[in-house]
Structure 1
Amino acid sequence: MTAISFIVPMYNSASYLEKNLKSIAQMVGQKRAEAEVLLVDDGSTDETRAIAYRYAKKYSFIQVIEAFHQGVSVARNLGVANATGKYLTFIDSDDEFAPNFVDVFETLIVKEPDLVFVDLETVDKDTLLENIDAKQKISLFKLINRGRGNTGIGSKFFKRSFLEQYNLKFDPEIAISEDALFNYQAIDRASSILLSPQKFYYVLESHTLPYYNPKILESEVRYRKKTATLFKTYFDKDTVGELLWTDNKIKLIGYIRLVDRYFGPQYNKNEITLGEAAKCLRNIAENYAYTTSFKDKRHDNVLGLRYRVFRRLLAKRLYKTTLIEVNPLSWTKESNLGGFTMTKFSFEDKLRAVNMYLRGYGSNTVAKVYKVKNHSNILMWVKRYQKYGIDGLKVRYPKYDYDGNFKLNVLNWRKRHKASYPETALQFDISNPGTIATWQRKLDTKGVDALFTRRGRAKHMTTNNNKQAEKSELSELERLRAENRALRVENEYLKKLDALVQKRGHRKKNIKSSKN
């Protein structure tokens, strides 16, 4: 019997699939008879299938499975149905893996545990847990939610007979966190698990859905119901509060995602009124018990400034104010999970991180070394460096406004190319994508004239020589002062926010007492 099946869902992956497949071949190494790789194409419209078939012809352990476009969950389930390995795992088509890992994996399954979790930083040696009881499973639920979380499906291996015995499958109706639910369900049913620090999976790209997704509401509610049902049987064994910690984190992040990626964008686009959106949020919070997570400060360390602000407002049930804060124009995008935080990385930090990446380290590894919350920042810095040199990494403090015609050119380019704000900023060497978002907002709400309102001296589109002349390098002392000012701004903002929340709380109490 094949020892392990690697299931790889693919959808329009042509730009990075070849690099991925080369890494898979190195990961399998000489153990070709012990491994199979199932490339499940989810209805790609680019050259993905052609590349996949080329590698399937080259390597006998690679197979291609064609399917209609139905989403990653259906593709993964199809892979499970076709797998023949004793164990199976799921990997993305744009990541890389440790060479010769199949050799290592065979040493991990000698006692045939139901589950094998690798890449764990919280264990220093292979640890086998057998006859797992409820308290141990509660600890495992928390383990995969540590820090910014490892609830994704990567680095987790499942005995195929175990999945078949309990009919465990991915839920196609859940668009976000479907892998986390699968992991919880597997832990719930497992009787044995091996935890290992062995290195296997190197995430190279961000796997997020588009910022606004119409499926988020239905998906989140379904996910919440299923996790609540699963955890319900464990709460009476939660003597030290580990499950409460885990459940609150799941609820908090899921609810803030609804605010930021569903109701907020709808309100900003005038598709729903502020009152309607706030009412919906209130009903969801109360009907599905999200409110218990709003006052839990323990997860602030994984939230960016923006999401921490949301949590504080939600703790006071200020739903309308929270929605107003969703306006993206005043924030700098830094991470997918933590929302938006203020820029805090110096030119020197960025340059060292880029150099490390160019020496062959993965973006995830570099992000951990330099404590960057999201590895996609590393990739953006690399792109800026490759396009603009070291000037693209410098912390810039513009003294000039942009000419109205330049703004229009930027917005028209973005529209023609259907580009994101970061992509557009990279194209025009604009350090902050939020600047472009501000221009777009002005154009949408106030018309073209609003783009020609000048502030200070005008900056026109210039030649490279003129651009070079306009750039000035801050001294080290000035840079440190600027960073200190940025930190003071953040602290002052949070202090003012707390004062505002307390003031509104007192006002509500006074109104109630006057009515009585």
Structure 2
Amino acid sequence: MNPKVSFVVPVYNVPDKFLNNCIISILKQTEANIEVLLIDDGSTDNSGDICDIFSKKDNRISVIHQHNKGLSGARNTGVRNARGKYITFVDGDDWVEPDLVESLLPSSQVDVVIGKIVKDFPNRKKYYQYEMTDGKFFSENDRVLLQKQILNFQGNISTVCGKLINREYLIKNAIYHDEKLSQGAEGIEFNFRLFELINSSIFVDRYIYHYVYDTESITTNPSQKNVALALQCFEKIQISIQNNLIYTENMRESLLQSLNTRLLYFIVTTAISSIFNPKNSSSYREKKDSLKKFMKNRLIDTAFRNGDKSKVGTQRQIILSFIKFHLFYAINILGKLK
């Protein structure tokens, strides 16, 4: 009998305590009929060995060792080797509640089930808020609505984690991660395509996934490469909106407006947490030049002019004003304070 759910876990140089906690949390599922695919993505530490040790203790675990392909490539390997009716993605340094499968597994076939996420900081937890009600069902007529929620920074459904995704739906529609976009905003781009063809989806009002915030993670340190990759993700979404014939003109305009507003958040994050991050060793002048160059990007310039600034909150509106009037010294101070 095939497993009900396949847990796809990309693993690349994950600190021991996080990886152990992740795998143990999955094995504690109240639903026993699962499989766990640990994708060792070319780890250079002992992460691969830890995966092998667990696989010898529990026959539900399979380990695939591969040359480094990045997060997206590891997830795709997992999807192609999964046997479960549903797939759920878990990053190797995160963990899940024991009733994830029990809470999310639908009684009848559904393309995607959406659960809720908690962000675990060292000394506190942030419970993501959602603009949906428990048991809310979405049909093919709600595709654009869901895509707008993915682009909505406050919607909190843009991550690939915390969901059950029907494996046949993924395979039939060839919905895989873009392996060129690893370590960017690949989850947003993947989800945008995921909900583009969806026929059924359900929201479950249950916190089942814990995203562990690691101050040393690649996503929490300033990186021009990560900014460029994220920009590529948003550019790909824009092209899809503009060129996809499934959208009416009103749908297209609505999605583009949502994208522009979402990019306002990206502009603020890039300015404060990347370019003017104190960990960025560039000189003040280099940081100014970098931000100016970033703002000249066609997609960013359009979003800056057309995005709905009233939806990003007072603090971000102030930062956007600093950018508009080239008050880089103020942005530099905020970067240090953050």
Same fold (TM over 0.5): yes
Determine helix, strand or coil for the equivalent of 1:39: strand
Q: How does 1:44-443 map to 2 (within 5 A)?
A: 44-106=43-105, 108=106, 110-119=107-116, 121-130=130-139, 132-133=140-141, 136-144=142-150, 145=152, 147=154, 149-174=156-181, 175-206=183-214, 209-232=219-242, 233=244, 234=247, 236-238=249-251, 243=255, 246-260=258-272, 263-264=275-276, 269-270=282-283, 273=286, 276-277=289-290, 279-285=292-298, 289-293=302-306, 296-300=309-313, 305=315, 307-314=316-323, 317-318=324-325, 320-321=326-327, 323-328=328-333, 331-333=336-338
1:248 positional shift: 2.7
1:296 positional shift: 1.4
Structure 2 counterpart of 1:248, one-letter code: N
Q: Is the 8 A contact 1:43 1:67 kept in 2?
A: yes
Q: Deviations over 1:125-160 (max 9, x none)?
A: 323323x12xx2232123343527331111122111
Structure 1 match to 2:23: 21
Distance 1:97 1:205 in 2: 14
| Alpha carbons of structure 1 residues 56 and 72: separation in structure 2 relative to 1, 3 Å | same
1:310 positional shift: 2.2
Distance 2:37 2:13 in 1: 16
Distance 2:98 2:211 in 1: 15
Q: How does 1:463-482 map to 2 (within 5 A)?
A: none
| Alpha carbons of structure 1 residues 123 and 158: separation in structure 2 relative to 1, 3 Å | same
Quick check: which has more Rg, 1 or 2?
Answer: 1
Distance 1:59 1:183 in 2: 32
Distance 1:261 1:99 in 2: 34
Structure 1 match to 2:120: none
Q: Is the 8 A contact 1:9 1:39 kept in 2?
A: yes
Distance 1:4 1:22 in 2: 16
Structure 2 counterpart of 1:142, one-letter code: K
| Alpha carbons of structure 1 residues 115 and 288: separation in structure 2 relative to 1, 3 Å | farther
1:92 positional shift: 1.6
Q: Is the 8 A contact 1:224 1:288 kept in 2?
A: no
Distance 1:214 1:274 in 2: 11
Determine helix, strand or coil for the equivalent of 1:200: strand
Alignment partner of 1:6 is 2:15? no
Q: Is the 8 A contact 1:118 1:195 kept in 2?
A: yes
Q: Is the 8 A contact 2:188 2:233 kept in 1?
A: no
Q: Is the 8 A contact 1:115 1:159 kept in 2?
A: yes
Determine helix, strand or coil for the equivalent of 1:112: coil
Determine helix, strand or coil for the equivalent of 2:312: helix
Distance 2:309 2:161 in 1: 28
Structure 2 counterpart of 1:252, one-letter code: L
Counting aligned pairs with the same residue, the percent is 22
Q: Is the 8 A contact 2:99 2:208 kept in 1?
A: no
User: Which structure is richer in relative contact order (CA contacts within 8 A, separation 6 or more)?
Assistant: 2
Determine helix, strand or coil for the equivalent of 1:37: strand
Determine helix, strand or coil for the equivalent of 1:93: coil
RMSD: 3.0
Determine helix, strand or coil for the equivalent of 1:228: helix
| Alpha carbons of structure 1 residues 164 and 272: separation in structure 2 relative to 1, 3 Å | farther
| Alpha carbons of structure 1 residues 300 and 73: separation in structure 2 relative to 1, 3 Å | same
1:23 positional shift: 1.1
Q: Is the 8 A contact 1:285 1:291 kept in 2?
A: no
Structure 1 counterpart of 2:322, one-letter code: L
1:38 positional shift: 0.5
Q: Deviations over 1:393-412 (max 9, x none)?
A: xxxxxxxxxxxxxxxxxxxx
1:259 positional shift: 3.1
| Alpha carbons of structure 1 residues 100 and 294: separation in structure 2 relative to 1, 3 Å | closer
Distance 2:334 2:74 in 1: 37
Distance 1:275 1:208 in 2: 23
Structure 1 counterpart of 2:202, one-letter code: L
Listed as ranges, the gaps of 5+ residues in structure 1 are 334-516
Q: How does 1:427-506 map to 2 (within 5 A)?
A: none
| Alpha carbons of structure 1 residues 286 and 79: separation in structure 2 relative to 1, 3 Å | closer
1:171 positional shift: 1.8
| Alpha carbons of structure 1 residues 258 and 36: separation in structure 2 relative to 1, 3 Å | same
Determine helix, strand or coil for the equivalent of 2:266: helix
Distance 2:290 2:103 in 1: 52
Determine helix, strand or coil for the equivalent of 1:199: strand
Q: Which moved more, 1:64-73 or 1:272-281?
A: 272-281
Distance 2:40 2:195 in 1: 28
1:274 positional shift: 6.9
Distance 1:286 1:242 in 2: 16
Q: Is the 8 A contact 1:267 1:277 kept in 2?
A: no
Q: Which structure shows the bigger proportion of residues in strand conformation?
A: 2
Structure 2 match to 1:425: none
Q: Is the 8 A contact 2:135 2:203 kept in 1?
A: yes
Distance 1:285 1:325 in 2: 25
Q: Is the 8 A contact 2:114 2:164 kept in 1?
A: yes
